[in-house]
Structure 1
Amino acid sequence: MTPQDLTAPHAVPQRPYSTTPARLYAAAHGGPEGRDAYPPDLELVDGLARLGLDPALIAHHSRDFHRRAVTHTAHALGISQFVDIGCGLPAQSRPNTHTTVAAAHASWRVLHVDNDPVVRAHADALLRTSTPGATTVLEADLRDPDIILDRAREVLDFGEPVAVMLLGVLHYLTDADRPHNIVRHLVDALPPGSCLLLSHTTRDYAPRAIQRADELLARAGIQAQARSREAVTRFFDGLTPDGPGLVPVHQWRPDDPASAALPASRIHTYGGIGTKPSPALPATRRSGGSGPGAGGRGGSV
């Protein structure tokens, strides 16, 4: 196992001006990150704003949830191995996943995954110059989870808990992509004690505006499907909710009361963490008995 998987700089696609989720997010965030956006990305952000949405506010609170969720998982839950799927362009003004994890652990590993070649090129350049730790970059698509899992098994220790991050990525999969099956496949492969960190756009607060936003993205070549809280909750099936469970991202373990007081109808995004429990032991083993029915409670925990 090598500490880094940094190959030759990856080729930038032949059509760099087609809008991608990574550059759309950079355009919405603005500031230093906005330098990576092109005019079509900025025009699409303006179109979303004309629908009554606030792309900059949504991007800000989504990124802040990223920071708090990774910090909590690394520090409070003690996990030092992360798979950041749909990682997007490296942040310029805020901590990236690997820098947050490195601040919590002397020994750590992060696998960054994105299907955008531009993200790969930027990440390779950044990590080659500024990251001394065990960081790997993989160009792959969430729709091919086995490719991600195969690489994760090569660079991470699956004998220890792993945190899988799906922040702001699942709403780019439609129901035809069977996203719940993909997430279940990823989680099933993880060792006990592992975590799922997830955020997802919702249509609960402004269904018509969000539907029109999905249609606008589709015309720009980006498929998207916002989901209800019930549909997002299903991604955590079989997992134990951490802390507040699935809530609007700005209300998940907030460190800024003023931000937490914002109406959820301005953020349109849910977030949460779920932990994979250890498999239940048979009643006979838990009780130390040797025959049927030992333990006296029919296998209840």
Structure 2
Amino acid sequence: MSLFNKFLGASAALALTAGAALADPALIYDLGGKFDKSFNEAAFMGAEAFAEATGGSYKDIELQSEAQREQALRRFAEAGFNPVVTTGFSMSSPIASVAADYPDTKFVTIDGYVDPAEHPNVLSVLFAEHQGSYLVGMMAAMASETGTVGFIGGMDIPLIRKFACGYAQGALAVNPDAKVISNMTGTTPAAWNDPVKGSELAKAQIGQGADVIYAAAGGTGLGVLQTAADEDILSIGVDSNQNHLYPGKVLTSMLKRVDVAVNDAMTQGADLQTGVMMLSLAENGVGYALDDNNAPLVSGEMKAAVDAAREQIIAGEIVVHDYSSDDSCPALSF
């Protein structure tokens, strides 16, 4: 049984006794807002699933500024919430500053990393985004009629370059002559919530021939998806299943199961197992979305090729280079 499935099994078992929990969990969303239809909203859906399955409750907060990160952590810990779950790599440093002051509180950083040797009460949840992005890159190249595909990231950080690099590798695996255009929205957290800039970047890439664009940019990505639909090209969503936003225009979405990670952490409660967890294709931590909204866009040939690659990646027969391993990408220049 995979680690991820064990995780799910533990959630189901713990759900039966969740009513006896001594403290409610809390959730801190990253900048970009709870309802970004992407990363933060996936976390929200996980919290809602926890509440529905267990009858429990939770407290959440949407950050408005960088200064609120540590404040929110301390407020929730002081109030007795446990665990305190956070989204976004930017919570790593604040958690490292706060965790030792509240040794009986469990903290979770999704997408961030905190040294477990120094902070044994922290769980770092990481994802193999490069693997899921490789699969949707394959789909992009197979669906493209121009041979040019695009990527639009949010904040220019190693994590988002990891998405872009995996995507480029997948596209080039299908079509070695493919052209992959990559742009980042900005270098500050504001890059996560700028749909107007996302739209502008999408139009620029369309002008360069891109007919499929993958957005990994939080709320900014909504501008990319809308512009792609308006300009009659295909887009690829991220984190949550965004296929329904523009049915027939979103080729697929690269799923990142933030919802399950949040649900599981909240369900475990104060008994949360800490350390570092990596969720990859093997654990169904990442993947691609197929539903009624995009089924007409995904041919049998496309699905067969992508599903075969998925199994080859899990088996180690295909190795997708992880940008974050050495800050380089063999398939794309930044």
Q: TM-score, normalised by structure 1?
A: 0.39
Q: TM-score, normalised by structure 2?
A: 0.36
Q: Which has the higher contact order (CA 8 A, sep 6+)?
A: 2
Whichever structure has more strand as a proportion of its residues is: 2
